[in-house]
Amino acid sequence: MKLKFARRLTASVLAIAAAAAPLGAAAPVAVNVDASRPGPKISRDIFGQFAEHLGTGIYDGIWVGPNSRIPNVRGIRADVVQALRALHVPNVRWPGGCFGDNYHWHNGIGPQAKRPATLNPDWGGVIEPNSFGTHEYFDFLGQIGSEAFISENVGSGTVQEAADWFEYMTSDKPSTLAKKRAANGHPAPYKVKYLGLGNENWGCGGAMSPDHYVEEMKLYARFTRNYNPVQNGEHAGDNAMKRVAVGWDSGDSDYTEAVMKAWKNKTWSWDIEGLSLHGYTVPNIWEKKGPSFSFGEDQYAKAIGKTLKMNEWVAKQSAIMDRYDPDKKIALFVDEWGIWTDPNPGSNPGFLQQQNTLRDAVLAALNLNIFMRHADRVRGTNIAQMINVLQAMILTDGPKMVLTPTYHVYRMYVPFQDATLVPVSFDAGTYRNGDVTVPRVDAIAARDAAGHLWLALTNVDPNEPARMLVSVPGVTAGSATGEVLTAPTVDSHNSFDRPNTVRPAPYRGSISNGRLRFDLPAKSIAVVRVD
């Protein structure tokens, strides 16, 4: 499968051979890969996605309806499904976000013509037609080959409403709700791998104090039961549904402390398996975030500097969790992250539409590397958001679709899903711009289930190529081949008219004195398999 990635790329693609890159003044970076000391498993759920009822993320982006001129399967657009299948998306968090705490599931089941039109108060106050509901969500998951992460309504719903939803989705016994599901077209119970116990209840989810949230969360954790007998039900052992409570955001909330303290002293009747962290990269300030395209090196550098805060956020949250849970039973789920810029000029500001550039691809790689380095605690993340919203994989406009630079990083990183982290050490050097100083390069390694060693190398420097000399003691490397992603400028992006400005090209390292030599173009990401 992995080899196919490289083969599929045609010779007409701009080939950037490592040896061809001119070298700047910076010294080569020696990278030591310690293949004898395997690290933790990198959960595939680190590569999860987030799809909220927000702007055109669901409607137009995924759902066009069965009568649309846009090719679709049961209302779900075929081009988007085909593109997403290549990402092996492990899970899709839905229906929100802030929308989740406004969502009432019973509006989204039954015959389409009878579904009520409600409002989407947080995101532009537009009509929510409820055409994409529970059954359509699971149909979409089935089409792209992914799993469910359902965020339930703790803000404006009730414990009973949430319990009923999960009985409706997961019961195999002929309860009235399960029979209703069957009557609506799905006799078999659905599989729900993850349950989100609310969303940002310190903010849009009700501005609850930590203690108030903990009391609510315990009720939802207790009464939202997964009845699916063989898949993610309560008796499914390691496969049992994982409940993710709301934790700290990148600000000053002390939810993590309160939730972990309650968990440490919990009774038998409730439990959680995960805690969330939300952390967005805002290049400038919240009120004036900065453009998503047409920017220069200063905006690039600021965004890179800001995004590396993710390492601090994860480390800080992990340290709190370690105090209550040294065995790391509770997973950290960074279930919203990504770059948040000003909306596209002329777009509805409530729709959070932004372009996606080479900068965002570099930023995605750096964040994925951070998450993988913390794989012992970080066992899930969801980039915000999948289509047409914030740092999207895919942009659509009517029948048109384009893949973003971030999409390409996710596709190149597929081999890291469920691989085993391999420690690497290197002196990254520095890249400076104005008052921003960040590491010049990044590197991560992992071994997949078939035993292949994979490297992901990033050159953050937008001006100078970087030479990386990789040693793998005990391994005689014959070749290192894969792909590289770069483009003319940091704000290069793909548009409907020019969809291939930023796309991967074949790439290979060379062998030099027993080491692998990689000459990375400026502002680039390479993923290679070492054979």
Given the complex with ligand AHR, which of 84 and 384 has the nearer CB atom?
384
Given the complex with ligand AHR, which of 143 and 199 has the nearer CB atom?
199
Candidates 96-104, 152-160, 311-319, 479-487 — which segment interacts with ligand AHR by CB under 6 A?
Answer: 96-104
Given the complex with ligand AHR, which of 352 and 520 has the nearer CB atom?
352
**Cis omega (within 30 of 0) on the bond before 112?**
no
Q: Does 199 bind ligand AHR (CB under 6 A)?
A: yes
Given the complex with ligand AHR, which of 120 and 228 has the nearer CB atom?
120
Given the complex with ligand AHR, which of 384 and 412 has the nearer CB atom?
384
Q: Which residue is nearest to ligand AHR (CB)?
A: 97
Strand, helix or coil for residue 408: helix
Candidates 19-27, 94-102, 155-163, 307-315 — which segment interacts with ligand AHR by CB under 6 A?
Answer: 94-102
Q: Is 483 a known active-site residue?
A: no
Quote the CA–CA distance of 30 and 467 in Å, as a whole number: 9
- 306 is written with which tokens? 């800001």
Q: Of these, 51, 98, 178, 394, which contacts ligand AHR (CB under 6 A)?
A: 98
Strand, helix or coil for residue 147: strand
Beta carbons of 254 and 291 less than 8 angstroms apart: no
Q: Does 136 bind ligand AHR (CB under 6 A)?
A: no
Q: Which of 52, 128, 200, 273 is catalytic?
A: 200
Q: Of these, 55, 57, 97, 405, which contacts ligand AHR (CB under 6 A)?
A: 97
Buried-state track 15-44, b at ≥16 Cβ within 10 A, e below 16: ebebeebeeeebeebebebbbeeebbebbb
Provide the CA 509 distance to its chain's centre, in angstroms. 28
Q: Does 360 bind ligand AHR (CB under 6 A)?
A: no
Q: Is 200 a known active-site residue?
A: yes
Q: Does 200 bind ligand AHR (CB under 6 A)?
A: yes
**Contact flags string 383-412 toward ligand AHR, x per CB under 6 A:** -xx----x----------------------
The DSSP H or E segment spanning 141 is helix 134-144
SS3 labels along 15-76: CCCHHHCCCCCCCCEEEEECCCCCCCECCHHHHEEECCCCCCCCECCCECCCCCCCCEECCE
Closest to 16 measured CA to CA, from 386, 486, 437: 486
Quote the CA–CA distance of 300 and 285 in Å, as a whole number: 14
Least distance between ligand AHR and beta carbon 464 (Å): 35
Candidates 93-101, 183-191, 231-239, 441-449 — which segment interacts with ligand AHR by CB under 6 A?
Answer: 93-101
- 474 is written with which tokens? 């005990």
What's the DSSP call for residue 387? B
Q: Of these, 60, 216, 336, 491, which contacts ligand AHR (CB under 6 A)?
A: 336
Strand, helix or coil for residue 298: helix
Q: Does 504 bind ligand AHR (CB under 6 A)?
A: no
Residues of span 137-176 touching ligand AHR by CB under 6 A: none
Q: Does 52 bind ligand AHR (CB under 6 A)?
A: yes
The residues binding ligand AHR (CB under 6 A) are: 52, 96-98, 199-200, 336, 384-385, 390
Residues acting as catalytic residues: 200, 336
